[in-house]
């Protein structure tokens, strides 16, 4: 009786349209908040987050405040369990939370090419490696700033020539700009000759991250600058601590949106059932069983939720895919990216909410007293 359900919804199309629109908006917010949570999880968990270490200046937070000697890399390599060390100079236009943060990472071009999961979609590696002021730009940054290979890009004291645009399997990478280490060290105004912001350590197979971190700090304790070494995931979680709390609160906002859909669809379905009490009584008199009546009402509420939830989820995923949104603080960025899991969650929750919202109205429709309902004007 799907035709009957569709005709019932079309009969009150204004109410149906408003309900579907409300469900779509709520699921849009749910998916958007979910993408932020997924971005944070990708940044702070996984093999790269656990098998890499960040050596940072002790008691420093913003990248501009950490200044480590570049030659610390040689001492770090002597520690057992260290496979490779990459000195990195970080420059950012804003250490506070921002939706349009620009982060430069200066490192050896050969190490960038070999250690980072990036692939150029425009430009060439030769152009990047051969020019001191060249840079390769993440796809999200290029999209937000309207950059293409060959363009000149300036912000603050930094001015670079875009040698290429890259994409990455790690979404946060697409919010970075890579330059050579020497370029950032000797840029006028930065005063960083011989210094770096941090050393990124790649661990050997089977090495204990916590043991290696402790040994690095102990070895560098006699140096000019004290260090604090942490796993990459823990370092980024600490860097984004304020945003982590905010994202945790926003997660409850997503659940509130699910509750809003439940309330909205349940209210609409109850109103629809009450308007058609006489109709349900007639259905019972011609032999429609109560269970069938319940299924009709449940199909109605579920269809409303699925159509609204699918529309809101699809719009959210399209916006996330094309928008290249990210939020960052202190040189670390969280990328908002769509995923299959997010799409499945949005549609599945919509269907589940539709069923739950229709239970009470369905019972009401199935148990309507036939005589009393037929007496209604």
What mean pLDDT is reported for the chain? 86
Question: What are the backbone dihedrals phi and psi of residue 336, each rounded to the nearest 5 degrees, phi first?
Answer: -95, 110
Q: Where are the domains of the chain?
A: 2-43+242-374, 60-225
Q: What is the arithmetic mean of pLDDT over 100-104?
A: 85
Tens digits of per-residue pLDDT, 117-136? Answer: 899 999 999 999 989 899 99
* Stretch 334-351: mean pLDDT: 88
d(CA 253, CA 256): 5
Q: Is 194 exposed, middle or buried (0-12, 13-18, 19+ CB in 10 A)?
A: exposed
The residue whose two tokens read 């529309």 is: 311
Whole-model pTM: value is: 0.79
Q: In the predicted model, is pLDDT for residue 44 greater than 70?
A: yes
Look at residue 304 and tell me whether its pLDDT is greater than 60: yes
Across 11-19, average pLDDT: 86
Does 377 score more than 50 pLDDT? no
Spatial distance between the Cα atoms of 24 and 310, rounded to a whole number of angstroms: 7
CA 323/CA 168 separation, integer angstroms: 16
Q: What pLDDT sits at residue 254?
A: 86
Angle at which helix 340-366 crosses helix 290-323, to 10 degrees, equals: 160
Least confident of 12-16, 37-41, 305-309, 323-327: 323-327
The predicted pLDDT at position 8 comes to: 79
Q: Which residues of 315-330 are buried (b: 16+ CB within 10 A; e: fewer)?
A: bbbebbeeebbbbbbb
């Amino acid at each position: 009786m799907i035709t009957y359900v569709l005709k019932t919804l079309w009969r009150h199309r204004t109410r149906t349209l408003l309900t579907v629109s409300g469900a779509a908006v709520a699921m849009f917010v749910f998916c958007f908040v979910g993408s932020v949570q997924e971005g944070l999880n990708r940044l702070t968990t996984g093999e790269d987050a656990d098998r890499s270490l960040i050596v940072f200046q002790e008691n420093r937070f913003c990248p501009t405040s950490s200044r480590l000697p570049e030659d610390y890399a040689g001492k770090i390599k002597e520690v057992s369990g260290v496979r490779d060390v990459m000195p990195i100079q970080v420059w950012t236009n804003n250490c506070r939370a921002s939706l349009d943060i620009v982060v430069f990472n200066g490192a050896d071009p050969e190490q960038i090419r070999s250690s980072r999961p990036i692939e150029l979609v425009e430009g060439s590696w030769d152009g990047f490696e051969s020019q001191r002021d060249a840079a390769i730009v993440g796809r999200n940054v290029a999209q937000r700033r309207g950059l293409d290979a060959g363009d000149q890009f300036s912000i603050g004291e930094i001015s670079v020539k875009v040698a290429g645009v890259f994409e990455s399997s790690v979404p946060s990478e697409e919010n970075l700009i890579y330059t050579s280490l020497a370029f950032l060290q000797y840029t006028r105004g930065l005063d960083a000759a011989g210094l770096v912001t941090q050393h990124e350590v790649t661990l050997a197979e089977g090495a204990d991250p916590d043991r290696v971190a402790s040994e690095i700090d102990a070895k560098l304790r006699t140096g000019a600058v004290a260090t604090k070494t942490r796993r990459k995931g823990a370092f980024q979680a600490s860097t984004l601590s304020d945003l982590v709390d905010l994202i945790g609160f926003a997660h409850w906002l997503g659940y509130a949106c699910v509750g809003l859909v439940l309330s909205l669809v349940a209210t609409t379905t109850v109103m629809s059932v009450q308007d058609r009490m006489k109709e349900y009584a007639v259905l019972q008199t011609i032999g429609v069983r109560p269970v069938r009546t319940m299924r009709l009402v449940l199909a109605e509420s579920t269809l409303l939720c699925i159509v609204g939830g699918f529309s809101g989820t699809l719009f959210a995923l399209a916006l996330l895919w094309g928008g290249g949104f990210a939020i960052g603080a202190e040189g670390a960025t969280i990328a908002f990216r769509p995923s299959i899991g997010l799409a499945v969650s949005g549609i599945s929750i919509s269907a589940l909410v539709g069923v739950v919202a229709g239970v009470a109205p369905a019972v009401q429709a199935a148990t309507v007293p036939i005589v009393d309902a037929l007496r209604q004007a």
